[in-house]
């Protein structure tokens, strides 16, 4: 209401200013411009005619314009007043003067009349020209005030976010998710033409849940679905709600759906739905999550509150489907789940192509190779890789992005940013043997991925060095033997330290953690320990999704637990023996790799292969 008032007051004030402005324009600029002549009394005009000073006359309905002879012109009288000679003057017409025409004829003055009506047109023009700019300014000001409430008031600011967005993203911007795109085709068809679906009585799922690890393109997919269908995209993120004051979350959900229904067909996208949709029971005793619960309830109410064919499709994304409240997954809510997984090699290549579309690539850039050596990378990681490479090239002031840029970018992403903390010589020596140990154990076993690069440059994440292994293909299945070899590689660092320095160091803690985790999964999930048999010992709910802590089933006896611990220990110990054995056999190679590392800080896979070949020939 207040806003209306202010707008009205603004309009009135503006109108007044504009009126005064137009009047000033008329009086000061337009009229004088039009007349361009000094006004004199009618009597003066008559005298000038009588004295024969006047050369030309234009008789208008309102005004008479007359020009005097200039000095020296033919027929100019002798007594021409010098200060007025040659000038044009005007005077107001006196209609009562019936003898004017006769007098002009008698005096031999050239004269003509102005066509009638012209004066009105000119006057009109004189008003329209100045009004136009004022009107335009007024229009734009008014529009800004009326349309953009966010300028005027805070309270309504969320309205801006609630106007659906036309994303402009399409499936062309997504790589490696053809199957998912195919599943979404039907929804796109529906959004494009809801009436058609309604006519045939088809029912579409109200809610589609996109499930997958972070960075795999779930948000992108939702936007592209809207983009492909050409419908507005309303989005909110679950994490937005977390920051909100009590009661706002639920109100916001209500607003969102209200807006969306008005704009149907459209897509409502709820990102990170797990933050509001966590199972209510697991929220804990203290009911601190009242707000979240209200929001969730509102969401459920809204979802139940409209017909499936109303043209609103709700999409949501999560990487934690296991913790979602089961109420969300009931029929009529998010009853369709679509799995979005990490890209395969072909997918990675497509994604790299998409994200290097606008980059000037040097001819040596081999995207196929990059796709091959980046298993486990998500779409976001690959986008990041391309961007880092471009940044590195920019920093070099180069005009093309080269393969070297991509390789450095890759190292950065894998190992964190390189930092130059000089290590004491003993520490460097130990790190060199440790990393050399990993590298050789990896290179000496048949089923481990080849070593790409070993470095003893400390990383930002606190590691003193790293060994980079690049699998040559994506692995969907891993055999027991391969897992054992992986554990051996992880223990290669510690084994080398034991052989050279006769004691372990803290440097292997991370390796041991990873090795133990693999061994534990082998025993409890994959049935790979003889003593325990092909039985799953891990609790089902929520376990191991995205590398979470493994929980054993509660009913497992203490004896079995002890057996599990024993089996895990045996696996890791056996792996350590394997590593020790391999390194003992290739001591010279280990020394040389460690030497090279201390000198150059880095050693590549081919060099290690070279060193190994050198000593096996003897
Ligand atoms: P999620 O929502 O699954 O966490 P996003 O959709 O937010 O992932 O992805 C983040 C960014 O990573 C995207 O904006 C895009 O640049 C890139 N990206 C992720 N997946 C893909 C893909 N399949 N194709 C192309 N780019 C992708
Ligand atoms: Mg996302
Ligand atoms: Zn290590």
Residue 403's SS3 state is helix
Q: Looking up tokens 């997958």, which residue turns up? A: 212
Beta-bridged to residue 267, according to DSSP, are 233, 313
411: in domain = yes
Label residue 8 by pLDDT band (50, 70, 90): low
Nearest CA to ligand 1 atom 7: 219
Question: Do 325 and 397 belong together in one domain?
Answer: no
Residue nearest to atom 11 of ligand 1 (CA): 380
The reported pLDDT for the residue numbered 474 is: 62
435 among known catalytic residues: yes
Q: Which CATH number goes with the domain that contains 105? A: 3.30.720.210
Ligand nearest to the CA of 439: 3
Residue 516 burial (C-beta neighbours within 10 Å; 0-12, 13-18, 19+): middle
Give the whole-angstrom CA distance, residue 62 versus residue 314: 73
Domain containing 183 equals 156-281+290-339
Indicate if 538 and 596 belong to the same structural domain: yes
Report the number of distinct structural domains present in the chain.
4
218 lines ligand 1 (CB under 6 A): yes
Q: Does the residue 137 lie in any domain?
A: no
DSSP strand pairing (312-318 vs 266-271): parallel
Domain harbouring 354, CATH code: 1.10.8.60
Whether residue 215 has its Cβ less than 6 Å from ligand 1: yes
As a dihedral over the C-alpha atoms of residue 429, residue 430, residue 436, residue 437, rounded to 10 degrees, the angle is 150
pLDDT in tens, 24-59: 777 776 666 666 678 889 998 999 988 888 888 888
Same-domain status, 408 and 307:
no
Name the catalytic one among 435, 497, 592, 607.
Answer: 435
Instruction: Say if residue 328 is in the same domain as residue 352.
Output: no
Indicate the pTM of the whole model.
0.56
CB 354 less than 6 A from any atom of ligand 1: yes
CA terminus-to-terminus distance, the chain: 94
Residue 139 in domain: no
Same domain? 299 vs 367? no
Last residue of a domain, one of 101, 119, 137: 119
Residue 153 pLDDT level (bands cut at 50, 70, 90): very low
Digit-coded pLDDT (tens) for 99-118: 888 888 888 888 888 766 55
Convert the pLDDT of each residue in 380-415 to its tens digit.
999 999 999 999 999 999 999 999 999 989 888 876
Residue 193: half-sphere exposure toward Cβ, Cα within 13 Å: 8
* Same domain (yes/no): 250, 360: no
Atom 5 of ligand 1, nearest CA residue: 217
* CA–CA gap between residue 286 and residue 263 (Å, rounded): 40
Domain membership of residue 420 (yes or no) is no
User: Which of these ranges, 250-254, 324-328, 403-407, 414-418, has the smallest mean pLDDT?
Assistant: 414-418
Q: From the CB of 350, is ligand 1 less than 6 Å away?
A: no
CA of 175, nearest ligand number: 1
Output the CA 379–ligand 1 centroid distance in Å: 5
In which band, very low, low, confident or very high, does the pLDDT at 378 lie, cut at 50, 70 and 90? confident
Q: What is the pLDDT of residue 34?
A: 61
Distances (CA, A) of 300 to 58, 198, 263, 282, 306: 85, 23, 20, 18, 11
Last residue of a domain, one of 393, 415, 437: 415
User: Residues 530, 444: one domain?
Assistant: yes
Give the domain-ending residue among 361, 391, 415: 415
């Amino acid at each position: 209401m207040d806003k209306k008032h202010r707008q009205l007051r603004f309009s009135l004030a503006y109108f007044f200013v504009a009126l005064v402005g137009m009047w000033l324009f008329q009086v000061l600029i337009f009229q004088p411009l039009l007349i361009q002549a000094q006004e004199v009394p009618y009597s003066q005009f008559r005298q000038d005619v009588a004295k024969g000073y006047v050369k030309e006359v234009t008789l208008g309905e309102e005004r008479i314009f007359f020009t005097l002879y200039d000095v020296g012109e033919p027929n100019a009288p002798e007594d021409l007043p010098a200060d007025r000679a040659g000038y044009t003057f005007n005077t107001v017409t006196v209609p009562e003067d019936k003898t004017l025409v006769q007098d002009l004829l008698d005096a031999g003055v050239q004269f003509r009349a102005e066509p009638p009506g012209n004066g009105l047109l000119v006057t009109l023009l004189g008003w329209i020209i100045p009004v136009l700019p004022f009107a335009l300014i007024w229009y734009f000001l008014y529009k800004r005030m009326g349309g953009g409430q966010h300028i005027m008031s805070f309270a309504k600011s969320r309205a801006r976010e609630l106007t659906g967005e036309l994303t402009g993203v399409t499936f062309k911007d997504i790589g490696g998710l053809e199957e998912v795109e195919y599943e979404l085709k039907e929804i796109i068809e529906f959004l494009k033409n809801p009436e058609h679906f309604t006519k045939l009585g088809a029912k579409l799922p109200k809610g589609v849940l996109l499930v997958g690890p972070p960075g795999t393109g779930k948000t992108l997919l939702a936007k592209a679905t809207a983009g492909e269908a050409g419908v507005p995209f309303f989005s909110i993120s679950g994490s937005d709600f977390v920051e909100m004051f009590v009661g706002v979350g639920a109100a916001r959900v209500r607003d969102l759906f209200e807006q969306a229904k008005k704009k149907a067909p459209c897509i409502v996208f709820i990102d990170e739905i797990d933050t509001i949709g966590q199972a209510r029971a697991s929220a804990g005793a203290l009911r601190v999550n009242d707000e979240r619960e209200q929001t969730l309830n509102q969401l459920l109410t809204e979802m139940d509150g409209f017909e499936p064919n109303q043209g609103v499709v709700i999409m949501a994304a999560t990487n934690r489907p296991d913790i979602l409240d089961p109420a969300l997954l009931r029929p009529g809510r998010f009853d369709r789940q679509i799995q979005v997984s990490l890209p395969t090699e072909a997918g990675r290549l497509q994604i790299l192509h998409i994200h290097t579309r606008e980059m000037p690539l040097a001819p040596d850039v081999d995207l196929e190779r990059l796709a091959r050596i980046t298993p486990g990378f998500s779409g976001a990681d690959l986008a990041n890789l391309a961007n880092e490479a471009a940044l590195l090239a920019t920093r070099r002031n180069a005009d093309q992005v080269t393969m070297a840029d991509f390789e450095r970018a890759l190292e950065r992403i894998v190992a964190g940013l390189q930092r130059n903390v000089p290590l004491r010589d003993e520490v460097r020596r130990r790190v060199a043997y440790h990393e050399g140990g990993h590298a050789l154990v990896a290179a000496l076993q048949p089923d481990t991925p080849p070593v790409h690069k070993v470095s003893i440059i400390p990383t930002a994440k606190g590691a003193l060095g790293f060994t980079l292994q690049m699998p040559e293909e994506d692995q969907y299945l891993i055999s027991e033997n391969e897992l054992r070899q992986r554990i051996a590689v992880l223990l290669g660092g510690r084994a080398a330290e034991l052989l050279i320095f006769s004691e372990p160091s803290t440097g292997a803690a991370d390796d041991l953690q990873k090795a133990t985790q693999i061994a534990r999964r082998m025993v409890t999930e994959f049935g790979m320990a003889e003593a325990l048999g092909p039985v799953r010992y891990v609790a089902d709910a929520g376990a191991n999704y995205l590398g979470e802590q493994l929980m054993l089933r509660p009913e497992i006896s203490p004896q079995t637990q002890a057996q599990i611990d024993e089996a895990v220990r045996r696996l890791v110990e056996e792996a350590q023996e394997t590593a020790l054995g391999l390194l003992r056999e290739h001591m010279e190679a280990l020394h040389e790799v460690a030497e090279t590392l201390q000198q150059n800080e880095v050693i590549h896979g081919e060099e290690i292969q070279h060193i190994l070949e050198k000593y096996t020939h003897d």
